[in-house]
Amino acid sequence: MSAADAASPDVPPQALKRQLQRANRLARWKALGLVAPLLVFLLISFILPIFSMLTRSVYAPVFSEVLPKVSEAVQTWDGEGLPDEPVFAALAADMTAAHANRTMGRAATRMNYEIPGTRSLFMRSARRVAQLEAPFSESLPTLDARWGSRDTWAAIQRVAQPVTATFYLSAVDRTLDADGTIVLNPEDQRLYVQLFWRTLWVSALVMVLCLALGFPIAYLMAHLSPARANLLMILVLLPFWTSLLVRTTAWIALLQTQGVLNDLFVWFGLVSNDGRIQLIYNQIGTIIAMTHILLPFTVLPLYAVMRGIPPSLTRAALSLGASPAVAFLRVYLPLTAPGIGAGAVLVFILAIGYYITPALVGGRTGQLISNLIAFHMQESLNWGLAAALGALLLAGVLALYWLYDRLVGIDKMRLG
């Protein structure tokens, strides 16, 4: 049926309505088919990993899977004194079976996350429990005094539950005592809160430095002739053509004690040869390298916004009696707010999750929380704690994003 026929009076209104609905449905299905590959990609590469991370941070069933009998029996313990003999007997039976199946290490590792040092307790006891005799409530403490400790059994009762909040407590330097009260870790074990604050501080400082350095560059590019602006744009984009690892390694050569910068300081007489400045393997090196690497992410959105600001607005302010400083602060600068917001958000979010640069140039004082997450994923294999740290970092980024939206408005952010 042609459009002329559809619009003719001979076509009933109900039939025309059905045809329009069918056409709209077909258009929606076509649109969905076009975006379906992107949705599948986001689901596999983004949503599922985040869901898996959040699940691992609160769900750890390995102890109850390896030692099912004692995990069930210990739940009847009221937490006072020590458990009864059936609980000890269930532990002995489970350890015997786990040692035979060679799965004791998994449960011992999970217990070690709760109380450091208990992995050796479980592994050694599993090897010798077959030699013990009932009552196990007496023979197990003779094997190791920690089996007669209420703290040990309180920890067993906690890890026997698949759903746990201990990873999040560890991520904020806290733990549960035998009474179930949240307490601070010993002072020499408090690490993660300090690293969170350091990560926020370094990310905020890098963001401010990138804005301070990137604004003049973008302003110059926006007011130069197209040929010169394109040349500057190539120089801004040039770092993207070089590997991040290569750029970071170059900073190691520049910032080390016998490096180029210290040689220049000595040559100009700013420092003595014996008083060279330590610029690498500390927080200073992390800030310098991250600022250089993230600077283009500030310049590009600022330049995109500044190119769209008509020069006539500033000239009009000057013609009405405003000084150049007042015209810049009250006319030009507010118009660049979308670019400032976009650059600040991009740099801050990228900096807060940076890993390679702090790992190479940060040393002990320049490490960020992402380096500890990588350590627990690759070295200690404490994926639950790594997931909890990642979840807290994600929550912090979302909270800051929400705060930015409330104060500035995300609709005002412009990337181009």
pLDDT in tens, 341-365: 888 888 998 999 888 889 888 888 8
Q: For residue 180, tell me if it sits in a domain.
A: no
The number of folded domains in the chain is 3
Shared domain for 240 and 329, answered yes or no, is: yes
Tokens of 277: 């400045």
Rounded Cα–Cα distance for residues 254 and 261 (Å): 6
8 found inside a domain = yes
Helix 226-237 and helix 296-306, axial crossing angle in degrees, nearest 10? 160
228 and 373 belong to one structural domain: yes
Q: What is the rounded distance in angstroms from the CA atom of residue 169 to the CA atom of residue 293?
A: 34
289-313 pLDDT per residue, tens = 999 999 999 999 999 899 888 888 8
Q: What is the mean pLDDT of the chain?
A: 87
**According to the model, what pLDDT value does residue 6 have?**
47
pTM of the model: 0.82
Q: Which of 243, 271, 265, 210 is nearest to 357 (CA)?
A: 243
**Cα distance between residue 10 and residue 380, in whole Å:** 77
* Mean pLDDT across 14-35: 84
What pLDDT score does 152 carry?
A: 92
Burial per residue of 326-358, b for 16 or more beta-carbon CB atoms within 10 angstroms, e otherwise: ebeeebbeeebebbbbbbbbbbbebbbbbebbb
Residue 12 lies in a domain: yes
Q: Residue 57 domain-assigned?
A: no
Task: Count CB-CB contacts under 10 A for residue 161.
Answer: 16
In a domain, 166, yes or no: no
80/201 same-domain check = no
pLDDT tens by residue, 53-110: 889 999 999 999 999 999 999 999 988 889 999 999 999 999 999 999 999 999 999 9
- Mean predicted confidence (pLDDT) in 181-194: 88
Residues facing 352 on adjacent strands: none
| Confidence check: pLDDT of 46 > 70 | yes
* pLDDT given for residue 3 in this prediction: 46
Q: Say what the pLDDT of residue 122 is.
A: 94
Q: CB 103: neighbour CB atoms within 10 A? A: 16
Q: Look up residue 284 and give its amino acid.
A: I
At 88 the pLDDT is 93
List the one residue out of 302, 282, 379, 383 whose CA is nearest residue 344.
Answer: 302
Cis amide prior to 135 (ω within 30 degrees): yes
Instruction: Mark whether 221 and 82 lie in a shared domain.
Output: no
Do the beta carbons of residue 366 and residue 251 sit within 8 Å? no
76 and 211 together in one domain: no
Residue 287 banded pLDDT, cuts 50, 70, 90: very high
Q: Are residues 148 and 66 both part of a single domain?
A: yes
In a domain, 177, yes or no: no
Residues 111 and 382: beta-carbon distance below 8 Å: no
Residues 334, 372 share a domain: yes
290 in the same domain as 218:
yes
Domain boundary residue, one of 160, 184, 208? 160
Reference 372, options 380, 119, 249; nearest CA is 380
In which band, very low, low, confident or very high, does the pLDDT at 415 lie, cut at 50, 70 and 90? low
The residue segments making up the domain with residue 36 are 3-41
Tell me, yes or no, whether 131 and 242 share the same domain: no
pLDDT at 160: 92
Return the pLDDT at 411. Answer: 64
How much is the average pLDDT of 27-33? 86
Residues 205 and 322 in one domain: yes
Same domain, 109 and 246: no
Tokens of 49: 């990993």
Q: For 208-263, how does the pLDDT look when each residue is reduced to its tens digit (9 = 90+)?
A: 999 999 999 999 999 888 888 888 888 888 888 888 888 888 888 888 888 888 88
| 182 within domain boundaries | no
Q: What is the CATH number of the domain that holds 287?
A: 1.10.3720.10
Rounded average pLDDT over 115-130: 91
368 found inside a domain? yes
> Are 241 and 374 part of one and the same domain?
yes
Look at residue 2 in the predicted model and tell me its pLDDT.
47
Identify whether the C-beta of residue 388 lies closer than 8 Å to the C-beta of residue 171: yes
